[in-house]
Structure 1
Amino acid sequence: MEMMRTLADHSIRRALSFAGLAVVTLMLALSFDIVLALRTGGNLLAMLCLGLIWTAWRTPHRNMRRSELWSLLTEHAAILARSLPPAEAQRLMAATLRQRLLWHAEQVGAAALVLWVVALLLGFLAG
């Protein structure tokens, strides 16, 4: 099951890296006003956090055999993928993916909070 968790993390982090690139790019575009850039980054990360929570909420109802996690599992742990009965594979994969999505949402939410606090402090110092 550690392999499934690792693959779920890999899949989630791949998506988060592209989202993070978009957030950082927009923040750099707004760097003429650092407080605005930080608030915007915090808002975007908060929306990303909500997206992760929504995806985690939907995960138990999805067919996991049509997910990136299943593709990674069949590629890197084919023996494990073939050895599990379909219902058990669905249950284990959904539970693992949901747990990892919520963990990542917590981390992204914390990063959003940090950006908001720094923006608030800089706003007080500048004002």
Structure 2
Amino acid sequence: MDLMRTLADHSIRRALSFAGLGVVTLMLALSFDLALAFRTGGNLLGLICLGLLWLAWRTPSRNLRRSELWSLLLVHATALARSLPAEQAQRMMAETLRQRLVWHAEPIGALALFLWVLAMILTLAGR
């Protein structure tokens, strides 16, 4: 179970690192206006948070044997992946992935809120 959690984290963080790179790049492009950059970053992080929560909600109904988590399990834990019955593997992967997606969405939502507040403070201070 710990290995599955670690592999789920690896898969989620890989996707989030690419999304974060896009957010930071856009914020740097808008750095001529800090309030706009922070507001845009907060909006994009809010969308990422909603996307993670939507994926977590959808996870139990998806066939996870066609997911990156299953591929990682086949590479790193072949004996475990092949020994589990399909129903049990699906249930364990769905529960682990759902839990880890929600766990990752919480700090991203907090960071989005922080950027929105910072943008609001900068906007009010500029008047």
Q: Give the TM-score range, shorter chain.
A: over 0.9
Q: How many residues are matched?
A: 127
2:7 aligned residue = 7
| Paired AA for residue 4 in structure 2 | M
Q: How far apart are the structure 2 equivalents of 1:126 and 1:30?
A: 17
Q: 1:1-127 residue pairs with structure 2 within 5 A?
A: 1-127=1-127
Deviations 1:68-114 (A, max 9, x none): 00000010011111121110000000000000001111111011011
Structure 2 alignment gaps of length 5 or more: none
- TM-score by length of structure 2 reads 0.97
Q: How far apart are the structure 2 equivalents of 1:116 and 1:13?
A: 23
RMSD: 0.7
Q: Runs (4+) of structure 1 moved beyond 4 Å?
A: none
Is 117-126 or 96-105 further displaced after alignment?
117-126
Q: How far apart are the structure 2 equivalents of 1:114 and 1:93?
A: 32
Q: How far apart are the structure 2 equivalents of 1:4 and 1:107?
A: 21
Displacement after TM superposition at 1:125 (Å): 1.9
Q: How far apart are the structure 2 equivalents of 1:83 and 1:108?
A: 36
Q: How far apart are the structure 2 equivalents of 1:99 and 1:15?
A: 16
Is 116-125 or 101-110 further displaced after alignment?
116-125
Q: How far apart are the structure 2 equivalents of 1:113 and 1:79?
A: 43
Structure 1 alignment gaps of length 5 or more: none
- TM-score by length of structure 1 reads 0.97
